[in-house]
Structure 1
Amino acid sequence: MPVHELACLRLKNGHPLTSPGNEGTLRKLRAGILEQARYTNSATHVLSQIEDPSVFYILGNWESVSQHVDEWIPCKKNQTIMGGLAEDVELVFLEHLEIPSSDAMGNAGEVPLTADVIAIGRYFVSHGEKEAFRGTLNETKHRLERFNEGKGLCGGWREDKEVGDEGHAKEEFVLFSGWTSVDEHMQFAESEGFKDFVRIKEFLKGAEIKHATVVFSSHP
């Protein structure tokens, strides 16, 4: 099953990826991302988090979770790449998302990378509430799409689920949306439409929403 990789990493020196002190790391990362793009024969993107610029994301496409985890990660080429980065970078999380090519509302299954700012919303769904969350999101996400004026909206469920303390698989939905600025997104939280959209909170254990901008993209 095709999946989207969402990897979150942090620079150990606490500086932004594009700062002068990280020139060497950025150069190694560019080379490594290009190799990944060639391996997957698809574009791979690096984004810098706005809230904490020492954090960055890798967005990539894979034929399956296994292709990434069992084939690419342990292969010699990737191990050489990561070996060159390990001193400067640490992994925060890695997950794989199933993002449909389109949904019932006609939203394209593409992360809105052309937007000035991309919001990355991670929604942690309460046990047994997946279908209720899904239905409510489908009913209300047009509120968000209208407010961001078509700058892009797509999302998907995490495939490589973690297991909670009670032995249940943790359900996580990740929603990407495009904005002109962080402030524009914050204004949505003060709108009438948000009062409807926020009904999804009834089915959540928690949520994490961050914002990012594209640093560079590599193509095969």
Structure 2
Amino acid sequence: MPVVEVTQLRLRGVAPDSPALLQNLSSVRGILKTQSEFYSCIEDPTLIFILGLWPSLEAHQDFLASPRAAEVLGPQEGMLEFRWAVHIALDAMASLPLEAPLVAMTRRQVTDDDLDAYDKAFATEKQAILESSKHKVVHGWRLDAAPGTNEALLITGWETAQAHAAFRARQTARDDHHHIAASALYENLDTNHARNMERSST
């Protein structure tokens, strides 16, 4: 089952628009053939995200456990510090809102008791997002979540971070019972907005 990897990394003494960094990232992409896209965090420019497609979760894990990983990723060690990685099922990179000027990545924690209710509430939330942003919406359950936990990853596309904030404000201001019902069913672990590093550098 194909999966998309979303990895957060912290920059070590290098700017997100550094030609050396982009060359390094694109070189690894070419070797691994993951069709990766690189994003710079708006809220914290010292953070970047790598979104890449793997044939399966096991394929990525096997690579990381292999001697080849040190050879391929070694040149990045001086530039990047690993923070976290999340994998969800995804058929193709084209399913992501990569065409959007900005993407929002939100991690949510949901209890076992709330799973069914969350799924139903999210169906309504997704429709509202599509109507407001006009970009693709990707939502999936984390395949490598800690035992006994349920973590969802939501990836949406927006014109600006302000447009996303305005959408959330409208949902709350109009006392939308679907929005309130959905937000009561999860803990928001993390939300980041980011721009494509290669597109920004052109």
TM-score bracket, shorter-length normalisation: 0.7 to 0.9
With normalisation by structure 1, the TM-score equals 0.80
Selected match of 1:181 from 151, 160, 175: 160
| 1:15-164 alignment, distance < 5 Å | 15-18=14-17, 22-37=18-33, 40=34, 43-70=35-62, 72-99=63-90, 110-148=95-133, 150-163=134-147
Query: Could you say which residue in structure 2 is the equivalent of 1:205?
Result: 187
Look up the match of 2:9. 9
In the alignment, structure 1 segments of 5+ residues that lack a partner are 102-107, 164-168
Name the residue aligned to 1:105. none
Q: CA deviation at 1:28?
A: 1.8
Secondary structure at the aligned position of 1:191 is classed as helix
SS of the equivalent of 1:190 reads: helix
Cα distance per residue 1:85-139 (max 9 Å; x no partner):
11221111012102467xxxxxx98110010011111111124222211111013
Deviation at 1:23? 3.6
TM-score normalised to the size of structure 2? 0.87
Unaligned 5+ runs, structure 2: none
For 2:175 and 2:44, how far apart are their aligned partners in 1? 25
Partner AA of 2:28 in structure 1: G
Shift of 1:214: 1.2
- Rounded to whole Å, the distance in 2 between the matches of 1:96 and 1:87 is 25
Runs of 4 or more above 4 Å deviation:
none
Paired residue type of 1:179: W
Q: Which has the higher helix share?
A: 2
Cα deviations by residue, 1:145-181 (Å, 9 ceiling, x for unpaired): 1111x22211111011113xxxxx2111111111111
